[in-house]
Amino acid sequence: MTKLHFTAVPHAEEAAAALKQRHGDFGPEACDIVVALGGDGYMLQTLHRFTGKGKPIYGMNRGTVGFLMNEYHQNDLPQRLAAAEKAVIHPLKMTAHTQSRVIEARAFNEVSLLRETRQAAKIRILVDGLPRLSELICDGVLVSTPVGSTAYNLSAHGPILPITADLLALTPISAFRPRRWRGALLPHRAKVRFEMAESRKRPVSAVADDFEVRDVIAVDVEEDRSISMALLYDAGHSLDERILAEQFSN
């Protein structure tokens, strides 16, 4: 028997309780699979909570968008899990430098840099130690994983990446200069460094998923292949298929 652990956002606790009564709950340490009830934001929270635990995560949508989740219904859960398709993802590692400290964080969707005041940010971009853009004047810029490419990255007019693509998306947010720069596709091994110009006058914050560091002077971003997380999806509704279908949606 597959041992399950259920976790849920507050408004889905009643649904989680019904599933626990039907299937039992073996707790976060003894379980084979974590079943998360919520939306995409809760899926990200669950990924961070279980990072390094070796627990596949099966999400059921009890939120708003639910792009990363399966449909919610209580019937046939063991059969759905037995037939589920696996997507293996890796997070980004963000190393944020401020005047007084260095802070590390992980992001499964994206690392984004955002201006803190009315003044545009001025950011120098280096890839693998080589300067690629001497000055980007913008509201911000982000590095996205394939799984995050349909989220903030897509809203910023970045490309959608297949989940199996060994790529990262580097996407500007409301770029003013160079006006025609639309970003870049980078190999997944690329190491990206952002350096803030006039950081006191033009303060910038760095955000790894929902973890924010304010007043950064430099930020390093790279994929962390030492961490692998498995997401489970109903047969015929894999994450690959969802991302492909998103490219043809209205």
Catalytic residues: 40
What is the 3-state secondary structure of the chain?
Answer: CCCEEEEECHHHHHHHHHHHHHHCCCHHHHCCEEEEEECHHHHHHHHHHCCCCCCCEEEEECCCCCCCCECCCCCCHHHHHHCCEEEEECCEEEEEECCCCEEEEEECCEEEEEECCCCCEEEEEEECCEEEEEEEEEEEEEEECCCCCCCHHHHCCCCCCCCCCCEEEEEEEEEEECCCCCCEEEECCCCEEEEEECCCCCCEEEEECCEEECCCCEEEEEECCCCCEEEEECCCCCHHHHHHHHCCCC
User: CA nearest 239: which of 228, 230, 227, 248?
Assistant: 230
With the CA atoms of 19, 20, 22 and 25 taken in that order, what torsion angle do they form, in degrees rounded to the nearest 10? 130
- Residue carrying structure tokens 């006191």: 200
Residue 99, token pair as written in the block = 């005047």
